[in-house]
């Protein structure tokens, strides 16, 4: 019983955390994709703040697919300062979150546990160049080593 | 330049009439053939020439099968012979020829003597030009097909290298490290992680294999393959496929199943890519010995006459080729703002005998 209570107290609230991040950085959208190990290792956008609709719930990404899948596979942040310049209109369908939420600019950061990507945190803007390399550096600096129980850099001790 | 005398011009004209490869007809106001040159004689039926030579009246209409207007491919409405206002300096006409059946020609028709109502009608054979155009188109498409095949191989090779090989190497490193770990607990946790990686790798390879060719298509048939493919489309692209089928678990010959599957896959992917909608209807049914596939969306649509090609331009070509190979017929109806319907119909009789390996 006591153990359960303690766990509740210490549980990290992702939803509140991303709401807070959105207020702090004044971006249009923040979303967190989580690896679902019980469903053949796919990623789903589980937490979102600033969304236009609930279409994101339809998306299930495999390794290498979509924004979250690519970040998951490479373990590297993905910065798209201007979506239109970097993804051809014919390939945009492979990134449903960008279409559904009309995202024009975004950065997606891998979050690790046990040296493995466990989640992908995306900051997005509906304006081209709304998110820049400088923004990314600032966020990484501000977040420090971790986001809740997850690590920002791969080789930090677990 | 030397001055050419009047009589020389007449001579030139006579030679041109006799030796030209262009068929020349002189017609009166009612399109009766007054005279025709040897080139014209070569293309029309000998019995017609015979009767003209015997002084029998013969109109052009007995040979002509219509021309191509801006409204229709082959038509007789606003015939060039009767239309005094229309511009008929160059148009396409279909003529019944001596041994090649109905053949397209480039024609010119104009009045050379208004008072006496004499008109000249000249034809140029287009068959060769058509053949060359067709060859050019085929070659172009073949080149694109090879390119597409090569790109696909490149993609698979990259996929194998990036996901499979990488994952295996990292597992190998993990395994080597295990030897130096003393703590039982640590070993346990590492083994669990490796297990997780292996599971993920299995999932990756399974996905790659299904993408290349769904095993369910061979084992369970169209119905099952469609259902799992549409589920995949839904997950990956957030795009709903409303699938309705009345074929149940019926099986068809392998090439029919493969072709129908690929055509449908392409049509659905086109809707995902270009229609700008969130769902598509797919219907598969069998009626009166015909298998029928309909893929319909309510999206953007396009101008079927002048499509604004966004991709490789191979998609629709490939779909038609596949349909042809299985004796099917593929039609695409689309209008800007009114969505697109891809309609495939093919005979299912004589399926059993026509088992051709792919």
Percent share of chain B, pLDDT over 70:
96
Q: For residues A12 and B281, which has the higher predicted lDDT (pLDDT)?
A: B281
**d(C-alpha B224, C-alpha B18), whole Å:** 69
CA-based nearest residue to B331, from B345, B315, B352: B345
For residue B289, pLDDT beyond 60: yes
Nearest to A58 among B193, B199, B234 (CB): B234
Give, in order, the Cα–Cα distances in Å from B171 to each of A51, A102, B69, B166.
Answer: 38, 39, 69, 9
Q: For residues B232 and B358, state if they share a domain.
A: yes
Residue with tokens 């400088």: A134
- A59–B162 CB contact, under 8 Å: no
Q: How far is the alpha carbon of B196 from chain A, nearest alpha carbon, in Å?
A: 8
Cβ-Cβ contacts under 8 Å, A41 against chain B: 199-200, 203
Domain boundary among B80, B103, B125: B125
Q: What is the pLDDT of residues B242-258, one digit of tens each?
A: 999 988 778 888 889 99
pLDDT band at A145 (very low <50, low <70, confident <90, very high): confident
- A96–B235 CB contact, under 8 Å: no
Q: How far is the alpha carbon of B321 from chain A, nearest alpha carbon, in Å?
A: 23
For residue B354, pLDDT beyond 60: no
pLDDT band at A10 (very low <50, low <70, confident <90, very high): low
Domain boundary among B184, B212, B240: B212
The CATH number that applies at residue B15 is 3.30.450.20
The CATH number that domain A12-151 falls under is 3.30.450.40
| Any domain includes B1 | no
Q: What is the pLDDT of residues A31-90, one digit of tens each?
A: 999 998 776 678 999 999 999 999 999 899 988 889 999 999 888 999 999 999 999 888
Q: How far is the alpha carbon of A4 from chain B, nearest alpha carbon, in Å?
A: 23
Q: Write down the pLDDT at residue A156.
A: 54
A vs B: CB pairs below 8 A = 56
- A37–B196 CB contact, under 8 Å: yes
Q: For residues B190 and B306, state if they share a domain.
A: no
**d(C-alpha B208, C-alpha B227), whole Å:** 18
For residue A158, pLDDT beyond 70: no
Q: How far is the alpha carbon of A138 from chain B, nearest alpha carbon, in Å?
A: 30
Residue B248, C-beta contacts closer than 8 angstroms, at least 6 positions apart:
B223
CA-based nearest residue to B15, from B32, B35, B38: B38
Cα-Cα end-to-end distance for chain A = 27
- A59–B235 CB contact, under 8 Å: yes
pLDDT band at A153 (very low <50, low <70, confident <90, very high): confident
What is the number of structural domains in chain B? Answer: 3
**d(C-alpha B118, C-alpha B107), whole Å:** 17
Interface test with B, best of A35, A48, A63, A72 (most B CBs within 10 A): A63
CA-based nearest residue to B103, from B63, B53, B147, B71: B63
**d(C-alpha B265, C-alpha A86), whole Å:** 26
Domain boundary among B170, B196, B212: B212
Contact between A3 and A9 (Cβ < 8 Å): no
Q: Write down the pLDDT at residue A66.
A: 92
Q: What is the pLDDT of residues B210-268, one digit of tens each?
A: 888 888 898 888 999 999 999 999 988 989 999 999 887 788 888 899 999 999 999 99
- The CA-based angle B105-B108-B111, given to 5 degrees, is 150
Q: Write down the pLDDT at residue B351.
A: 45
Q: For residues B104 and B230, state if they share a domain.
A: no
Q: Write down the pLDDT at residue B350.
A: 46
pLDDT band at A157 (very low <50, low <70, confident <90, very high): very low
Q: For residues B130 and A33, which has the higher predicted lDDT (pLDDT)?
A: A33
Give me the domain span that covers residue B148: 127-212
Q: What is the pLDDT of residues A75-111, one digit of tens each?
A: 899 999 999 999 988 889 999 999 999 999 999 999 9
Q: Scanning every residue of chain B, which has its alpha carbon at the shortest distance from the alpha carbon of A61? A: B236
pLDDT band at B149 (very low <50, low <70, confident <90, very high): confident
Q: Write down the pLDDT at residue A90.
A: 82
For B238, the enclosing helix (H) or strand (E) is none
Q: For residues B57 and B174, state if they share a domain.
A: no
Question: Half-sphere exposure of B26 toward its Cβ, with a 13 Å CA cutoff?
Answer: 11
Nearest to B199 among A41, A62, A116 (CB): A41
Mean confidence (pLDDT) of chain B? 85
Q: For residues B49 and B226, which has the higher predicted lDDT (pLDDT)?
A: B226
Q: For residues B39 and B170, state if they share a domain.
A: no
Q: For residues B197 and B65, state if they share a domain.
A: no
Q: For residues B324 and B233, state if they share a domain.
A: yes
Of the given ranges (A146-150, B59-63, B132-136, B277-281), which has the lowest mean pLDDT? B59-63
B216-220: long-range contacts (C-beta < 8 A, 24 or more apart)?
B217/B257, B217/B258, B217/B261, B218/B254, B220/B249
What ipTM does this complex have? 0.80
pLDDT band at A4 (very low <50, low <70, confident <90, very high): very low
**d(C-alpha B208, C-alpha B196), whole Å:** 19
For residue B168, pLDDT beyond 60: yes
Neighbouring C-beta atoms of residue B257, cutoff 10 Å: 17
Q: Scanning every residue of chain B, which has its alpha carbon at the shortest distance from the alpha carbon of A56? A: B238
Q: Which residues of A have a CB under 8 Å from any CB of B?
A: 37, 40-42, 55-56, 58-66, 73, 89-90, 93-94, 96, 100, 114, 116
CA-based nearest residue to B262, from B331, B332, B214: B214
**d(C-alpha B151, C-alpha B311), whole Å:** 14
Percent share of chain B, pLDDT over 90:
24
Residue B71, C-beta contacts closer than 8 angstroms, at least 6 positions apart:
B77
Please, what is the angle between helix B222-237 and helix B254-274, to 10°? 20
How does DSSP assign chain A, residue by residue? -HHHHHHHHH---HHHHHHHHHHHHT-SEEEEEEEETTTTSEEEEEEEES-S-SGGGG--B-TTSHHHHHHHHH-S-EEES-HHHHS-TTTGGG-HHHHHTT-SEEEEEEEEETTEEEEEEEEEESSTTSS-HHHHHHHHHHHTTEETTEESSTTS--
CA-based nearest residue to B80, from B62, B99, B60: B60
Domain extent listing, chain A: 12-151
Interface test with A, best of B159, B190, B196, B235 (most A CBs within 10 A): B235
pTM score of the predicted model: 0.68
Q: For residues B231 and B343, state if they share a domain.
A: yes
Residue B84, C-beta contacts closer than 8 angstroms, at least 6 positions apart:
none
| Any domain includes B46 | yes
- A93–B272 CB contact, under 8 Å: yes
Letter string b/e over residues B120-131, b meaning 16 or more CB atoms within 10 A of that residue's CB = ebbbebbeeeee
Cβ-Cβ contacts under 8 Å, A90 against chain B: 273, 310-311
Nearest to A41 among B200, B237, B238 (CB): B200
- B235–A58 CB contact, under 8 Å: yes
Q: What is the pLDDT of residues A104-132, one digit of tens each?
A: 999 999 999 888 889 999 999 999 999 99
């Amino acid at each position: 019983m006591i153990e359960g209570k303690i766990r509740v107290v210490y549980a990290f609230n992702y939803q509140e955390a991303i709401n807070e991040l959105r207020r702090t950085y004044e971006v249009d959208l923040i979303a967190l994709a989580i690896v679902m190990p019980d469903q053949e290792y796919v990623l789903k956008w589980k937490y979102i703040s600033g969304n236009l609709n609930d279409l994101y719930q339809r998306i299930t990404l495999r390794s290498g697919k979509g924004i979250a899948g690519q970040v998951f596979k490479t373990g590297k942040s993905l910065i798209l300062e201007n979506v239109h310049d970097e993804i051809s209109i014919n390939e945009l369908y492979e990134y449903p979150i960008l279409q559904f939420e009309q995202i024009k600019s975004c950065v997606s950061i891998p979050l690790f546990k046990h040296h493995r990507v466990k989640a992908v945190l995306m900051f997005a803007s509906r304006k081209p160049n709304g998110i820049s390399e400088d923004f990314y550096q600032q966020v990484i600096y501000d977040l420090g080593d971790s986001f809740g129980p997850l690590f920002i850099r791969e080789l930090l001790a677990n | 330049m030397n001055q050419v005398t009047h009589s020389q011009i007449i001579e030139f004209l006579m030679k041109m009439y006799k030796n030209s490869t262009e068929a020349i007809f002189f017609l009166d106001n009612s399109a009766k053939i007054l005279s025709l040159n040897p080139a014209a004689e070569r293309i029309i039926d000998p019995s017609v020439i015979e009767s003209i030579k015997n002084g029998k009246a013969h109109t052009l209409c007995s040979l002509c099968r219509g021309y191509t207007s801006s409204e229709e491919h082959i038509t007789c409405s606003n015939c060039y012979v009767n239309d005094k206002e229309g511009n008929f300096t160059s148009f396409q006409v279909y003529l019944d020829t001596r041994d090649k059946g109905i053949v397209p020609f480039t024609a010119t028709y104009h009045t050379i003597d208004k008072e006496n109502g004499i008109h000249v009608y000249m034809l140029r054979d287009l068959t060769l030009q058509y053949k060359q155009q067709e060859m050019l188109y085929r070659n172009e498409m073949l080149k694109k097909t090879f390119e597409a095949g090569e790109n696909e191989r490149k993609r698979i090779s990259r996929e194998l290298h990036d996901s499979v090989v990488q994952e295996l190497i990292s597992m190998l490193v993990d395994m080597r490290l295990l030897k130096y770990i003393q703590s039982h607990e640590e070993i346990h946790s590492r083994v669990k992680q490796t297990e997780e990686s292996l599971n993920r790798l299995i999932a990756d390879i399974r996905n790659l294999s299904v993408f290349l060719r769904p095993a369910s298509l061979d084992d369970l048939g169209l119905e099952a393959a469609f259902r799992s493919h549409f589920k995949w489309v839904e997950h990956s692209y957030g795009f709903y496929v409303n699938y309705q089928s009345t074929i149940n678990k019926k099986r068809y010959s392998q090439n029919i199943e493969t072709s129908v599957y690929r055509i449908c896959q392409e049509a659905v992917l086109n809707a995902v890519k270009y229609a700008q909608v969130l769902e598509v209807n797919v219907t598969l049914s069998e009626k009166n010995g015909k298998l029928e596939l309909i893929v319909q969306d309510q999206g953007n649509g396009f101008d079927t006459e002048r499509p604004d090609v966004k991709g490789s331009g191979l998609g629709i070509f490939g779909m038609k080729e596949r349909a042809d190979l299985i004796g099917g017929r593929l039609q695409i109806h689309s209008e800007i703002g009114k969505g697109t319907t891809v309609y495939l119909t093919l005979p299912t009789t004589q399926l059993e005998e026509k088992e051709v390996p792919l």
